[in-house]
Structure 1
């Protein structure tokens, strides 16, 4: 069957299954099977797919119809121009999180130290490192599998100086009185309430529950980090937190109550307040 017809049929199936980006999903999966990019696919769409390619593509489309994330089916996702390996052990990097990177870069001079809490694939740490070679970057995660994945992504892109540690938030960084201090601390912590209906939809059904859900209507980890981060920030250092679109007011209040100054929020591409920050 010609590639363009194969794609059209697959896109219809995915649309019927409720995929919000059916044609893109089909394109990405066929590119993965063929080992080509989308430009090649559209240039040579009249070529016949081999029986082996059709069978592999059919298997992936069936899994996507069942709801499995494209990033899990291909084993990678692009973030900040970096192709990062993914796995069910971590959250899938999302475009909204680039707002966190942008906000950190806007505050970063030529050198300093950055800590990425709950690093997952290492997306935020590596995106920042790709723009600020003079900074010492550390990423931590409670999951050893996530730390191994992040370290592999660093090696894949040649970020030999970015370190990743297994840590329950700050636990691997020393006692608060003599521990490490950072000019920037960034985090995309769990911030979804455990009764949020979105947990039963889309890609999040296949992502680690503990990386998504927090108590106190999704605010527990955010409030914990607001308090604890002060002991690990340099004087005049900044804490930047990604959160849900309706949580900005609560996070700003927590930052102000904890004594941070210059408290503010930044919007994502959709115009939602996605990141809040404050200065020690």
Structure 2
């Protein structure tokens, strides 16, 4: 995405030019990072992975005792207005809800009106060149808090990790804690070894990735067994294949980790199969397959 602001966004019941969008300096999202966000992919102008979006969004909100400010129907109507006003065919909608405006107090403020913000953006989900070339990743220390299962707007740890990866010329990183991989800075981490798809089990240590859930659901159809366990970077280096998943990336193969080639530096057999299966899943939900 460009750093330039453009398009129509939504703030607290109003649609406006992105350059006019403002919230109070006393918003708790600004002062404390007291809020939740989500990203919903758009395919052929339609929201996809909707059910999983609502499940994770509402779970995160409940974890910090924050009520959703709109009904499902109102929220989706607003999303579709953003899609239409910005003429988005493929990409995503980003939304966040914060606890709202109040004088600074560490305790959760009661009866504050939540701030609701959303915008839609264009992004090529299916024809990503990295799907064919593969990406490079590096390992970095996981310095984040203990409730990573909450999709909090407090993302400084992830920003530091992503910046470290980019400084080293990599696309993404695998964050490592106590010698084991947790996840990417903005993605879920996977490896494949001897026909087994391996990814860390769900806990407070990782975000419950929507793509993770869907991929594990059809792994057996791709000819893979599934093992949910933590793995080390040494296992990444020795993997037959490795990949990441994220909302607007689907799956991207990893061909090099910490400078070490995976599968001889080539995209492997299973990741393209899984990516094609995921693409078909999204297109089917969007009604274009």
Tell me the TM-score range normalised by the shorter chain.
under 0.3
TM-score normalized by structure 2? 0.26
Pick the structure with more strand per residue. Answer: 2
Where relative contact order (Cα < 8 A, 6+ residues apart) is larger, the structure is 2
TM-score normalized by structure 1? 0.26
- Structure whose CA Rg is larger: 1
Pick the structure with more helix per residue. Answer: 1
